Amino acid sequence: MASTNKNKNKKSELELEYESEEDEDNEEPSIGKDDKFSSETSQDQDMITSSQHYFGSIEDGFSISIIENMKEEYGLFVWPSSIILAEYVWQQKSRFSKANVVELGAGTSLPGLVAAKVGADVTLTDDANRLEVLDNMRRVCNINGVKCRVLGLTWGVWDAPVFSLCPNIILGADVLYDTRAFNDLFATVTFLLQKSPDSVFITTYHNRRL
């Protein structure tokens, strides 16, 4: 009998050991904070891309490189209106050469960069609270080898930056997307136009109601 009990106990111990190993195999791998951060960082990097925009003929050899972030809701994506306005600047390059240009709501800054590359003195502006967009402006200026002033300017806010601007030409690509911002936008544009009586505001926009 003693031998039989001993065998039963041994069998029980083996069963427990087997069940314990099985539980370990079935455990789901845990994701720590560092792993989660790495995953999110990787996803953010996957959203960043670059685009090359060409103007004129092959002989002109004129192009602009843009860094885009598809995660950003508005500011870091090249909208069609921006491409159209940039093409206009290129076609009117003699007008823009040596002009004092301010681009409002510049975002990826394609029109302003074209203006700078054809010889304009350019100030690129966007909402002062959108630091990621402002940082991206500086990067694309460096990539394209142009010197532009990058300025945080919030429409309808009357602080030092807006008083320092005296443009001949004001550019705005697709700045009419939000009707709630119209009053602040046009107040800012009107102020800048009054500071320089011969200045003009040139804009392109997409009618999203159609």
The Cα angle at residue 56 between residues 53 and 57, in degrees rounded to 5? 110
Average pLDDT, rounded, for the chain? 83
**Residue 6: pLDDT over 80:** no
In this structure, is residue 179 part of a structural domain? yes
In this structure, is residue 24 part of a structural domain? no
Between 196 and 13, name the one with better pLDDT.
196
**Residues of 47-71 as b/e, b for ≥16 C-beta within 10 angstroms?**
eeeeeebebeeeeeebebebebbee
Quick one: pLDDT at residue 73?
61
Q: Count CB-CB contacts under 10 A for residue 150.
A: 20
**Whole domain around residue 162: which residue ranges?**
47-204
In this structure, is residue 166 part of a structural domain? yes
Quick one: pLDDT at residue 10?
47
Q: Tell me, what DSSP letter sits at residue 77?
A: S
Quick one: pLDDT at residue 39?
36
In this structure, is residue 62 part of a structural domain? yes
In this structure, is residue 190 part of a structural domain? yes
Question: Which residue's structure tokens are 């990067």?
Answer: 139
The helix/strand/coil state of 74 is coil
The structural domain count of the chain equals 1
Question: Which residue's structure tokens are 């926009």?
Answer: 205
**Residue 179: pLDDT over 60:** yes
Residue 153 — very low, low, confident or very high, per pLDDT cuts 50/70/90? very high
In this structure, is residue 209 part of a structural domain? no
Interval 178-184 mean pLDDT: 93
Residue 55 — very low, low, confident or very high, per pLDDT cuts 50/70/90? very high
Quick one: pLDDT at residue 178?
86
Radius of gyration of the chain (CA): 29
Interval 16-44 mean pLDDT: 43
**Residue 8: pLDDT over 50:** no
In this structure, is residue 3 part of a structural domain? no
- CATH number at 135 reads 3.40.50.150
Residue 197 — very low, low, confident or very high, per pLDDT cuts 50/70/90? confident
In this structure, is residue 15 part of a structural domain? no
pTM: 0.77
